[in-house]
Amino acid sequence: MLSLRPSPELTPDEIERGLSNIIFDGLTTHAFATLTSGIFLIAFALELGASNVVIGLLAAIPPLAELVQIPAVSLIEKVRNRRLVTVITSLASRGLWIFVALIPFLLSPQAGIVCLVLLLIVYSCISSVKHCGWKSWMRDLIPEQILGMYFSRRMALSFAAAIVLSLGAGYFLDHWQNGGGGTAVTGYAVIFLVGSLIGLAGTYFLVRTPEPMMIIRHDVPLRRRLTAWYEDINFRNLIIFLALWSFAVNLAAPFLTVYLLKRLSLDITTIIVLSIVSQLTSILSLPLWGTIADRFSNKSVLKVAGPLFVLCFLALTFTNFPEPHFLTMPLLVIIHIIMGLSTAGVTLAAGNIGLKLAPKGSATSYLAGISIFTALAAGIAPIIGGFFVDHLAECELAWNLSWKSPGFAIIIPTFHLQHWDFFFVLAFVLGLYSVHRLIYVKEEGEIDEPIFIDSLIAYGKDMRNFSTAGGIRNIMRFPVNGMDIQSDNYALRCRPDLKLQKNRDGPVP
């Protein structure tokens, strides 16, 4: 384990190697998450006979387990080796999915559901410790000037890998069931096994990533440091926004796959294709969001991407109006395109704004504060949804326009809510309010809204010049060779567009 010790000071070459390895870590981590969560996990649970309450519980366990970050902060500061903690917890948590894959072969469906819940609890608690160390590690490793662009490239490559894996998994499931290979539930088990092996292999890149020495304030007790963010009014407002946003999204998002499978009667292959459409849009939009976040602010990105995302929840209510109709599939495609566009912006900006506003030396405790409250909100929301969704199955709220004349009558449905629609509407309202709370968050570099919108439109025009292959080639490149990380010109050499602006208009603000 001597090779996993942190370094007092990192050279530019070490940072370059670390940034490259974190890119590959992102690929394997996202591949693991794609094959062991989301559509495949929910479909697996439904095949075992899980109820809506169980689906809500499965969605609530991972965020609630983030509360383990409270004692994890003490562990990490005692060990003072975030890389060691991250590697060990990664191996343990990802290896657990081998046991999940064995459920259909060893247990009955009812016992399998109980075992799945228990294993997910253990996995999520171990992963929470990993997240606590990894976030603090990245905060000190990645230069702040390129934070937005770097993570946008990492996410874009990860989404691209997820698309390939999703298509491959969908094809495998069709062949497995139609070709006589076995039942659907055993097909999902094979997918979980492959995901676990990919995740285990990905820890190699974490081992090769250097870690800078932690800066710990010994004069302040841990309890005091865990609550230090509360005295920071700006960071406190950020936590309020993120908690409200997390509650709104997780009230409806965990049931989206159930809605598509049960309410709209779509098959798993169609849902995977819709997911791929969303991820492709995310890949194409990530360079846009990353550039805007670095040039303007993460807050500016959230102001645009946030409302777009929750608008998709409202649009879902029109896909069954009151039953699936000929416009249902076109609407779903449009919704998933907008959802992919906005998800990229929200995910990138929400993660980066926390990293940016957390002060160095206290990043672990500040980021743990974010995790605690967003975890509570994200955990409570799907539990509420799971308990109430069945009670709303027989409820309807309709508003129709009717016309009657001699020999002619027509009724036009203009507003119709039923079952999951109530959660989609409530998530939309709460999401809009959470975005409103952003006005109380101050971020260095934020600009006036009109200036940002004009620039966003200008960047949008440049999207016409993007090509899939060229975009991915640019994402793969990360110029760090021969640079002084502490110099003022570092960000300009990583971002040629800023250098051109500096030469043309003077110093970059």
Position 222 scores a pLDDT of 64
The Cα–Cα gap between 167 and 268 comes to 11
pLDDT at 352: 84
d(CA 397, CA 384): 20
Alpha helices in 96-218 (DSSP H): 97-101, 103-106, 109-141, 147-178, 184-207
Q: pLDDT value at position 424?
A: 87
Contact between residue 247 and residue 306 where contact means Cβ atoms under 8 Å apart = no
Residue 400 placed within a domain:
no
3-state DSSP helix/strand/coil % of the chain, to nearest 5: 75, 5, 20
Does residue 505 lie within any of the structural domains?
A: no
Check residue 501 and give its pLDDT: 42
pLDDT confidence of residue 449? 52
> Which tens digits make up the pLDDT trace of 252-273?
888 888 888 888 888 888 888 8
Quick check: is 410 in a domain? no
Kindly report the average pLDDT of the chain as a whole number: 80
The whole-number pLDDT of residue 311 equals 93
Q: Which amino acid is at 335?
A: I
Q: Is the overall model pTM greater than 0.85, yes or no?
A: no
The pLDDT tens digits of the residues spanning 25-35 come to 999 999 999 99
Instruction: Report the distance separating Cα 125 and Cα 54, nearest Å.
Output: 18
What pLDDT is stored for residue 181 in this prediction?
Answer: 66
Given a cut of 80, whether residue 489 has pLDDT beyond it is: no
Q: Is the pLDDT of residue 142 over 90?
A: no
In this prediction, residue 482 has a pLDDT band, given cuts at 50, 70 and 90, of very low
pLDDT, residue 445, reads 59
Instruction: Write down the pLDDT at residue 153.
Output: 85
What is the three-class DSSP state of 413?
Answer: strand
What's the pLDDT score for residue 477? 33
Average pLDDT over residues 117-133: 93
What CATH number is attached to the domain comprising 453? 1.20.1250.20
Instruction: Look at 203-217, 373-387, 396-410, 469-483 and tell me which has the smallest mean pLDDT.
Output: 469-483
What burial class does residue 393 get, using C-beta atoms within 10 Å of its C-beta: 0-12 exposed, 13-18 middle, 19+ buried? exposed
322 prior amide bond cis, ω within 30: yes
Coil, strand, or helix at residue 409?
strand
Is 430 a member of any domain?
Answer: yes
Kindly tell me if the per-residue pLDDT of 206 is higher than 50. yes
Q: Quick check: 209 pLDDT over 70?
A: yes
The reported pLDDT for the residue numbered 368 is: 73
Lowest mean pLDDT among 299-303, 317-321, 398-402, 488-492: 488-492
Higher-pLDDT residue of 164 and 445 is 164
Residue 208: burial class (beta carbons within 10 Å; 0-12, 13-18, 19+): middle
For residues 336-375, one letter each, b for 16 or more C-beta atoms within 10 angstroms of the residue's C-beta and e for the rest, the string is bbbbbbbbbbbbbbbbbbbbbbbeeebbbbbbbbbbbbbb
What pLDDT digit, counting tens, does each position of 314-331 carry? 998 888 876 777 888 999
- CA proximity to 366, closest of 247, 244, 235, 243: 235
Alpha-carbon distances, residue 458 vs 451, 453, 463 (angstroms):
11, 9, 9
For residue 418, list its beta bridge partners.
Answer: 396
Domain assignment present for residue 487? The answer is no
Please compute the mean of the pLDDT values over residues 196-207 and round it to a whole number.
94
Give the pLDDT score at 152: 77
Q: Mind giving me the DSSP string for 191-222?
A: HHHHHHHHHHHHHHHHHTS--BPP---TTS-H
Domain span including residue 356: 11-215+227-394+421-478
| Total of domains in the chain | 1
* 173 closest CA partner among 159, 200, 194: 194
pLDDT at 179 over 80: no
**Ramachandran bin of 63, using left for φ above 0, alpha for ψ from -120 to 50, beta for the remaining angles:** alpha
DSSP, res 361: T
Q: How much is the average pLDDT of 411-436? A: 82
Residue 139 has pLDDT above 60, yes or no: yes
Please check whether residue 352 lies inside any domain of the structure. yes
* pLDDT score of 497 more than 60: no
* Structure confidence by residue, pLDDT tens digits, 40-78: 999 999 999 998 889 889 988 988 888 887 888 888 888
C-beta separation of 166 from 272 below 8 A: yes
**pLDDT classification of 492: cutoffs 50, 70, 90:** very low
Answer yes or no: is 490 within a domain: no
**pLDDT value, residue 460:** 45
Residue 491 lies in a domain: no
